Amino acid sequence: MPSSVMPAARRGGDGQPSPAAVSAVGLRKSYGDKVVLGGIDLDIPAGSVFALLGPNGAGKTTVVKILSTLIAADGGQARVGGHDVATSPDGVRAAIGVTGQFSAVDGLITGKENMLLMADLHHLPKREGRRVAAELLEQFGLADAAGKPAQSYSGGMRRRLDIAMTLVGKPRIIFLDEPTTGLDPRGRHDMWQIIRELVSGGVTVFLTTQYLDEADELADRIAVLTDGAIAAEGSPEELKRLVPGGHVRLRFADPSVYRSAGRALPNVARNDEALSLHIPSDGSQRELRSILDRLDSAGIEADELTVHTPDLDDVFFALTGSGVVDRTKENVR
């Protein structure tokens, strides 16, 4: 993988880190005939949270593996923490922490022992290692459980231990591959809180997720990965602006009223099973009034009216549903 085509990494002569924590141009990866990544670009400022959002099989873990030097890309370039992943993998590894989709925690030993093992791996002096381990166990709410075998931990506790272990090496950039998949709502919220704390400490977080609300909640920028290409990228607000996904939803109890309403209103999408109608709308007072006026003049009363403003779900479906994905596929080829 040639490293000369990378955008200039602005580094001073004193080796100051580049302002981009992660940057990539044209990353490609295939397995046999299957194109997993068809050339993706990334530019993630230091100190921010970036979410790579995509369904199962989209290529999220593949991106994380390439950026964390676990596997090599077939083409393109990437810099992480100011180091080229192809030519300076040791530099990259020294700058990052990775919490994989599958935990690195050893269940047979205690939480504390797992931490001390990491401290040894990072060649911390014994006393320093014990101090760092104790601090992190405390910070992650694991001090009480520190003496118990990790296999007795809940899913959320294991994830917390996993992240605490990656922090032993004081990484500037951490990769969290689906950190909340499989956690219960409480565990997810705990994890969100941990991620926010990491960021307030200045760490750059590269997060993958299948959950739109999670990306919306945590990320400064989101890239939607589908079929090996980034279909859209931006702040949560920018992505929401991409699609006019807002609509008014009317629900009816009586099928005949439902049918008359369908005739009275323009541009409706019907859901015959739910007896509900969706009318595209920006949710403004003017549009609502026009809908209500039409219902009134037809003598129709809806049993329920809800206004739905665009959220990331709308973006996701707009991008992965019709049209857009087909264009994306053409780019991949």
Instruction: Give residues in contact with Mg ion (CB under 5 A).
Output: 60-61, 101
Q: Specify the residue, 48 or 101, whose C-beta has the smaller distance to Mg ion.
A: 101
Nearer to Mg ion, 163 or 250 (CB): 163
In the chain, at which residue ranges do the beta strands (DSSP E only) sit? 20-31, 34-45, 49-53, 75-80, 83-84, 96-99, 173-177, 204-209, 221-226, 229-234, 247-251, 269-271, 276-280, 304-308
Q: How far is the CB of 62 from ligand ADP (least distance, A)?
A: 3
Nearer to ligand ADP, 31 or 285 (CB): 31
Which of Mg ion, ligand ADP, none has residue 36 at its interface (CB below 5 to 8 Å by kind)? ligand ADP
Q: Does the protein bind ligand ADP through residue 51 (CB under 6 A)?
A: no
286 binds ligand ADP (CB under 6 A): no
- Quick one: what does residue 204 bind among Mg ion, ligand ADP, none, with the CB cut-off 5 to 8 Å set by partner type? none
Q: Encode burial over 198-212: b for 16+ CB neighbours within 10 A, e otherwise.
A: bbeeebbbbbbbbbb
Closest to ligand ADP by CB, 208 vs 276, is 208
Residues of this chain, 93-132, that bind ligand ADP according to CB under 6 A: none
Q: What are phi and psi of 22, to 5 degrees?
A: -140, 130
Q: Which residues pair with 110 in a beta bridge?
A: 149
Counting contacts by CB under 6 A, is residue 182 touching ligand ADP?
no
Q: What's the CA gap between 135 and 317, in Å, rounded?
A: 43
Residues 163, 142 contacting (CB under 8 angstroms)? no
Going across the sheet that includes 269-271, the strands are 269-271, 276-280, 247-251, 304-308
Joined together, the tokens standing for residue 186 give: 């409480």
Q: Identify which range of 57-65, 179-187, 198-206, 242-250 contacts ligand ADP by CB under 6 A.
A: 57-65
* Residue 54 binds ligand ADP, judged by CB under 6 A: yes
Cα(316)–Cα(140) distance, integer angstroms: 33
d(CA 302, CA 149): 58
Q: Is 56 in the site for ligand ADP (CB under 6 A)?
A: yes
- Residues 6+ away with beta carbon under 8 Å from 320: 55, 224, 226, 231
| Smaller CB separation from Mg ion, 211 or 298 | 211
The pattern of x and - marking residues 59 through 78 that bind ligand ADP according to CB under 6 A reads xxxx----------------
CA distance 36 to 56: 12
Residues 15-34 that bind ligand ADP (CB under 6 A): 31
* Residue 59 binding: pick among Mg ion, ligand ADP, none (C-beta 5-8 Å cut-off by kind): ligand ADP
Nearer to ligand ADP, 133 or 224 (CB): 224
* Nearer CB in complex with ligand ADP: 88/209: 209
Residue 151 DSSP label: G
Listed in sequence order, the residues at least 6 apart from 213 whose beta carbon sits closer than 8 Å to its beta carbon are 312
Does 57 bind ligand ADP (CB under 6 A)? Our answer is yes
Which range binds ligand ADP by CB under 6 A, 52-60, 122-130, 258-266, 316-324? 52-60
Instruction: Give the rounded distance of the alpha carbon of 236 from its chain centre.
Output: 11
Is 98 or 268 the residue whose CB approaches Mg ion more closely?
A: 98
> Using CB distances below 5 to 8 A depending on partner kind, what does residue 231 bind out of Mg ion, ligand ADP, none?
none
Residue 220 near residue 237 (C-beta atoms within 8 A): no
Contact partner at residue 133 from Mg ion, ligand ADP, none, CB < 5 to 8 Å by partner kind:
none
> Does residue 267 belong to the site contacting ligand ADP (CB under 6 A)?
no
Where do contacts with ligand ADP occur on this chain (CB under 6 A)? 31, 36, 54, 56-62
